[in-house]
Every structure is written in C-alpha cells, then in structure tokens.
Amino acid sequence: MKPELPRLPVSAVLPDLLSAMARSQNVVLAAPPGAGKTTLVPLHLLDEPWAMQGRIIMLEPRRLATRASARQMARLLGEKAGQTVGYRTRLDTRVSGDTRIEVVTEGVFTRMLLDDPDLPGVSLVIFDEFHERSLDADFGLALALDVQSALREDLRILVMSATLDVARVSALLGDAPAIESAGRSFPVDLRYEERPSGIDIAAFMARIIHRTLDTEEGSILAFLPGQAEIRRTAEALEKDLPGDAVIAPLFGNLSGAEQDAAIRPAEPGRRKVVLATSIAETSITIEGVRIVIDSGLQRQPVYEAATGITRLDTVRVSRASADQRAGRAGRTAPGTAIRLWRREQTDSMIAFTPPAILASDLSGLVLDCASWGVTDPSSLALIDPPPTAAIAEARKLLVSLGAIDHSFAITPKGETMRRLGLPARLAAIVIAAAETGAAATAAQLAVLEGEQGLGGNATDLEHRLSRFRSDSSPRAKSARSLAQRIAVKAGGAEKDEQIAAGPLLLAGYPDRVAMRRGSDHGRCFYSLANGRGAFLEESDPLSNEELLVVTDLTGQTASQRILSAARIDLTDIASRIEESEEFRFDADSGAVRARRARRLGRLLLGEVALPVKAGAEASHALAEGIRKVGLNTLPWSQECQHFRARIGWLRRTLDDEWPDLSDDTLENTMDRWFEPFQPNVTSIREIDVSALTHGLRSLVDPSLLAQIDRLAPTHFTTPAGSRLPVDYSGDAPALSVRVQELFGLKSHPAIAGGSAPLVLELLSPAHRPIQTTRDLPGFWTGSWRDVRADMRGRYPKHHWPEDPGAAEPTSRAKQNKRR
C-alpha cells in the first residue's frame, strides 16, 4: 500500500492534471519553484490505468537533480532508490526489475530513444524543468513526438516547467491542454545590495554572507557564477566563520557524494552556507535554507561556428532565473532573498535564458539526426530552429571525421561514434585508437574531457591522465569504468599500454594543432591549424613545447587562452603535412612571390622561395593581392575610367541590365575580367593597360556594347565643329564648352536618343565658367543679356551677339575683323 503523500501547492491541480492525462496524449504543466511538481506528479500518475503496464521516464537537466529527485520520491514511498523509483546517469545507475519510475538525465534519454525508438515498456515520458531549454531536452522532445506520431500512439508526454512559454509548448504538442499550478507556499522578502564597482564578486559575496550570518537565522544558499568564484568565496569566509556555520560548495565537477552532502540538512545546532552555481536553481530542495544571496551572474556557453569552439562567458542571469533562485528561500518556511544588484536593474534583464540550441555546438545533434534518418534537423518538431551557420559547421566537422557522407547520411563509422555517447571529436579519437590497440587510453582521455575536474585542472592532459589513473575517489572509479565500457564499444580492449595523449588526440583535433610563435608580457603565443591564435601563461609547463594539440580554449577569438592540450612532435603529424607550391602577393613590391610550403591546415611549418612562373596561378595571386590593396593600385587609363563612368551612368539612368562596374563588384569578379586578360603578368608594373579596357568590355553584353556609343557617346560635336569630351563622372553627363561654339543652336544638346540633356558648363574665351545650364534656349532668351554685358566689358575683342541663337558659331578666339 502506497504511503500518504504530502500536500504541496501542486496538489491543488492534481485532479485536473490526472483528468487531462487520461483524455490527452500530451499535457503541459506550469508550476513555479516550490510547487512540488518534480516529486509529487510522477508518484500520483503511477497508479493511473494507462500507466499500470509500463514505466514512467522522467528527464532532469542535471545529475544532481536526477539523483536527488529519485531519492526523495523513494523516501516518500518508504523505499531506497533503485526499487520503485530509480535513476540513471552517465556515471551512476540505480534501477532494478521493480523500477516503475526511472529518473534520467536528458542525454541518457536521447541515447535510449536512438538505441530503441519503440521505447518498449514506457507509458509516459516527463520532461521536467523544460524551461532550461537544454539541447538534449529540445531534441529529446522532438524525437519523442516523432516516435509518438509514427510508432507509439499510446505514448504519453508531459512537459513540466517552473517558468514556461506555455502557448508555444502547447502548440508544439498539438495544442495540448495546459495546467497551471500556484507557486511556493511561503513568502520571500526581496532585498537589494548593489555590488560597488571594482570589488570582486567573491569578496563582496563573502562580506554579505558574514553580515547575514550575524543578523539572520537559517542556512544560506549563495549563487555564484562558477567554481573559481566559489573557491575564492570559501577561502574568504573561512577566515572569520561563526562556529555553528559549515561551508558546502555545490557545483557540477564535484563527485555525487560531495553534491549529495551539500544538499543534506545541516546537523542539529549547525547551519550551512551552500555556495552554488546555477546547478541549485531548480529541482532540488536544500533543507533549512531560509536565505538566498544571488550574485545575479552565471556562466553561459557560447558557441562560435566560425572557430568550432565553445567558450564560457560570465553573464547576467535572466529574470526567470533570478525568480527561481529567490524561490529557493521560500521552499520550507518564510525566507529572504538578497540580490547583489540595484532593484531597477532587474527590469533590464532578459526574460528567459536563451535556448541552448541557439548557441551550441550542434555536431552531436546533426549526428544523432542522421542516425534517426533525418538529414535536416530543422524538419523536426523543435521550438526554435537551429542556426544555419552552426548546422553547416557541424556538417563540415562530421564529414571531415567520416561520420556522415556528403549527402549528410550517417556512415558505419558515424553509427559507431554515436553509440559511444561522446561528443563527435572524442568519439573519433576512441575509434581511431581502437584500430591501433589504444582504445582504453583514448577512452580515458575522452572521459577526462567530458568530466571537468577529473585528474585536476592542469592544462597538460598527460598530467591529468596520470592523476586520473591513480585517483581512488568514487567519481574517478566510476569514470574509469565508463572509459572501459566505451573502449569495448569501440572495438578495443578495457586496458592497453599507457600511450602518449597527444598523438591520440590528433584524430579528433587535427585543426587544433598549435605551433609556438613567441612570447611577450608573460604569455606564450601559438598559431593553430584552423588559422586562429591562442596563448598559454609562460608559467605553464606546456609553454616550452613547440607543438601542441589543443582540445579546449576560452575567451574571445582575438585572445583565446588554452585550457587543455598535450604535447606532440613533428613525427606525430608527418603524415598530415601537405607540401604545395604557393603564390602570394607582396604588397610592398606589388609583385607575386612563389614558395614551396609545408602546411598542416593553415599552419605554415616551413617554406622555400621559388622563382615565379607566369601563368594562371600567378595571375590569380596577383588578382587576390589587388583585391586586398584596392583597385586604385591598377594603372587605369583615361579610356578605362571613362568607359566605367559611361556604363555607370547608363545603369543608374536607363536600365539595370547594364553591368555594375563599381569597385566592389569588380573586386569580386576579377576572375572574369582581370585574370583571363593578364595571363603572363606577375606584378602590377607588368599589367597590360589596354587589356584592362578589353577586360571591362568583356563584362558588357554584346547587344548592349553595340548601343553604348549611341546612348552615351564619348564626345559631342559642337555647331562650330569642335569634338569635345562628355564628362560622366558626376550625377549627370556634362560638357564644358566655350559659349561661342554653341551660337546658332536653338535646342539643348542631349544624348541617349534625346532623353538625357547634357549639363552645359559654358566657358568664357579664357575657359573660365560663366554659367551652368540644362536649358540653352532659355539661357539665350533669359540671363544671356546680363552675361553679354559683363563679357563684352571683359573680352571686347570677342563676338557677343544680341541674339546668339541666330548667330554663327565660332571656335576662333577673336572676331573676324572683316566682318
């Protein structure tokens, strides 16, 4: 007989939830922190008729929440985890034949689905804390919906969240009914203590904790952005900690036992100061916590598709996260939440933490999709479509690793990689190592990379691997067992000879080979095969190595710090080095240079100068160089410049079918108009000037080329017989002409079939401007009188008729005296 379960806020909506679950395959439950949804809902659903013949799978975003929620449910049933309620994580499993509720991490569920899409014996899948929008949760829900529609119409799905965009999730689940529960049972007093500028967050947090311990009762839960800040805060607190207070760190890299110890109630007469990352925001209750102190900061992974690197940025939390953190104080009694920022800053916080799918490495997602038979992840039922650039980068990586083919379908190697449950690069390392009998070492390296803190925090992976092998902690033992299982899955043995880490890592990180290029201001700088740069502190033992293979970096692209790497030498990469003749443009001399280069990716390992041979490669290198320094370096003739100006005016004025000959377009099409017309040129000074004109004319359609002289003539012949150039460099075609040469002209000069009047710059006998007009007849009958009066005084020997429209034009400088 099931014991009586406690009543919590969510209890009020359980009848509505049970009713909705009975009549609908999909349901959404929104319940704020402290409502009790994580522990009470699965237990109440256990005895529903539709659930009696199968298990309930509940997903949690973190291992800590997975273990804690399973153990709490088991306690409510008077059992231990592994009986009616069990759990499954990557390193720890407690399930049995009697298990009816299985709490799993989100990644474990994805593996379960991909390995057995039918989900045999499963009646319900619960997505808890879905608001965190992890990549595995989004993908797992998409796959579950796919299974439900194609294979298991009887499968039920329940999405639960503390803060949730209910309408969007409900729509994704086919307009599923949505149930909303009331919030926490106890009030929380919100206070604000702004951190002064220039004060380290750890020091300020320690100051506020000390003061709060003196003035408030109960245990404290303090949120800090990361492990480093937690350790600094702990060190500052230990100097003057009250005798009844105990410091308990809580972050992801701790062992399960250490995490469990942090959330256990304090011993009688003691109180805890739990220093936690975002790991403590949801799903767990820390008994005795009456005070929450929130730094308002968190570490957020940001993936850069251009580099394939994920870095951790320290950012402000969302308003939803801040509310969840504050809610921790009111779980079991009235509490206080102290926020280390100004009250008005809360309004400027983003509403929700961005979904991981928008800022993650998607190589695992793309590989899993390919295994599922989906080449385009966007076709799945995802709330937010994955970014195109991240998908493209993931496909590029997986093709290079041999995991998918060029049609993005999974390969046999890719299937093996997926079954290992590792990130793509690490899976590729283990599979390559299995072929040489080194799978066990490679698997240990893979586990080290996936489990931060194992083997210490040294940059040198060789050093960490050695410490990991001798570590006797339960977490290390579990990790070594996992590595053994991975090695066997990859086709290798559980153990092998201890092999150097660096050469093994090359199979997954060939683009991260790094070569030392000097040091400055206490830093040693490296160039990577992917074209990026990175550095090590000179105090790091690895900084003396000439060659490294880098597995993890952090920081902005311009100055990334190496977090983990291993040494290699030239013999390790010999088979990957490519030799080729290269041509490059030397801006100083304006000429092409040639060399024989030895490269690994974009990493130049050595070079020998060669004589330059004219040809297509040299011409292309010259074009690339000119593109970089600008087209103004070309020896343009006046004819070329005039031709471009005429075409430009025709395109702007008449029709955009005329080609674009602007600098930007010409720079991007040099393979069409420059390279083919300069086949034997290796420097700017050798460029054939006439060939530049021929090249530009090749860009114009022959049918248009035949019309250019009619529509945009190069010259205009005056009534006096002079052939004067038309200027197309301005907004409109212009003609500079002495006014006497237009005498007798009763209509305004025009081009383009008479549709475009020329801008006339009328000149004095000394070729100085006296008037600009677009209406010559109007000028004759209008302002000519004033101009004539002025000009007769200045140039009395020249002809200034009263009626220039009826006068005889002349190109002579002075009047004919016989007239």
Would strands 122-127 and 156-161 be described as parallel, antiparallel, or unpaired?
A: parallel
pLDDT at 566: 96
pLDDT at 184: 64
What mean pLDDT is predicted for residues 287-294? 90
What mean pLDDT is predicted for residues 185-190? 84
Share of the chain above pLDDT 70, in %: 98
Q: Kind and range of the H or E element at 463? A: helix 461-470
Q: What is the pLDDT of residues 689-704, one digit of tens each?
A: 999 999 999 999 999 9
Separation between Cα atoms, residue 366 and residue 139, nearest integer Å: 10
What mean pLDDT is predicted for residues 656-666? 93
User: Is residue 816 very low, low, confident or very high in pLDDT (cuts 50, 70, 90)?
Assistant: low
Give the class (CATH, top level) of 188-354: alpha beta
Q: Is the pLDDT of residue 661 over 90?
A: yes
Q: Kind and range of the H or E element at 42? A: helix 37-45
| Polymer length of the chain | 819
Separation between Cα atoms, residue 562 and residue 533, nearest integer Å: 10
pLDDT at 185: 64
Q: Is the pLDDT of residue 469 over 90?
A: yes
Q: What is the pLDDT of residues 533-550, one digit of tens each?
A: 999 999 999 999 999 999
Q: What is the pLDDT of residues 365-382, one digit of tens each?
A: 999 999 999 999 989 999
User: What CATH architecture does domain 9-180 belong to?
Assistant: 3-Layer(aba) Sandwich (3.40)
247: closest CA among 257, 239, 237, 255?
A: 237
SS3 290: strand
Q: Kind and range of the H or E element at 214? A: helix 201-215
pLDDT at 359: 86
Q: Is the pLDDT of residue 817 over 60?
A: no
Separation between Cα atoms, residue 434 and residue 222, nearest integer Å: 45
pLDDT at 818: 43
Separation between Cα atoms, residue 443 and residue 84, nearest integer Å: 33
User: Is residue 528 very low, low, confident or very high in pLDDT (cuts 50, 70, 90)?
Assistant: very high
Q: Is the pLDDT of residue 558 over 70?
A: no
Listing DSSP states for 688-743 in one string gives -HHHHHHHHHTTS-HHHHTTHHHHS-SEEE-TTS-EEEPB-SSSS-EEEEEGGGGT
User: Is residue 352 very low, low, confident or very high in pLDDT (cuts 50, 70, 90)?
Assistant: confident
Is residue 604 within 8 A of residue 619, CB to CB? The reply is no
Mean pLDDT, rounded, of the chain: 91
Separation between Cα atoms, residue 337 and residue 341, nearest integer Å: 12
Would strands 715-717 and 723-725 be described as parallel, antiparallel, or unpaired?
A: antiparallel
Q: Is the pLDDT of residue 673 over 70?
A: yes
Taking residue 504's Cβ as centre, other Cβ atoms within 10 Å add up to 26
With residues binned 3-state (H G I as helix, E B as strand, rest as coil), the percentages for the chain, rounded to 5, are 40, 20, 40
What mean pLDDT is predicted for residues 476-496? 90
pLDDT at 121: 93
What mean pLDDT is predicted for residues 658-676? 95
pLDDT at 813: 56
In degrees to the nearest 10, what's the CA dihedral of 93, 94, 100, 105? -30
What mean pLDDT is predicted for residues 138-160? 94
User: Is residue 3 very low, low, confident or very high in pLDDT (cuts 50, 70, 90)?
Assistant: confident
Q: What is the pLDDT of residues 569-590, one digit of tens each?
A: 999 999 999 999 999 999 999 9
pLDDT at 1: 60
User: Is residue 819 very low, low, confident or very high in pLDDT (cuts 50, 70, 90)?
Assistant: very low
Q: What is the pLDDT of residues 23-82, one digit of tens each?
A: 999 999 998 877 889 999 999 999 999 999 899 999 999 888 899 899 999 999 999 999
Write out the two tokens for 104.
């799993």
Q: What is the pLDDT of residues 393-435, one digit of tens each?
A: 999 999 999 999 999 999 999 999 999 989 999 999 999 999 9
Cross-strand pairs, 594: 583, 610
What mean pLDDT is predicted for residues 329-336? 85
What mean pLDDT is predicted for residues 767-794? 94
pLDDT at 301: 81
The b/e string for 567-602 (b: 16+ C-beta within 10 A; e otherwise) is bbeeebbeeeeeeeebbebeeeebbbbbbebebbbe
Share of the chain above pLDDT 90, in %: 73
CA angle 768, 774, 776 (to 5 degrees): 80
Q: Is the pLDDT of residue 555 over 80?
A: no
Least confident piece of the model among 91-95, 336-340, 558-562, 638-642: 558-562
User: Is residue 815 very low, low, confident or very high in pLDDT (cuts 50, 70, 90)?
Assistant: low
Task: Write the single-letter amino acid at 380.
Answer: L
Is residue 749 within 8 A of residue 776, CB to CB? The reply is yes
HEC string of 178-211 equals EEECCCCCCCEEEEECCCCCCCCHHHHHHHHHHH
Q: What is the pLDDT of residues 601-659, one digit of tens each?
A: 999 999 999 999 999 999 999 999 999 999 999 999 999 999 999 999 999 988 889 99
Is residue 64 within 8 A of residue 80, CB to CB? The reply is no
Q: Kind and range of the H or E element at 449? A: helix 439-450
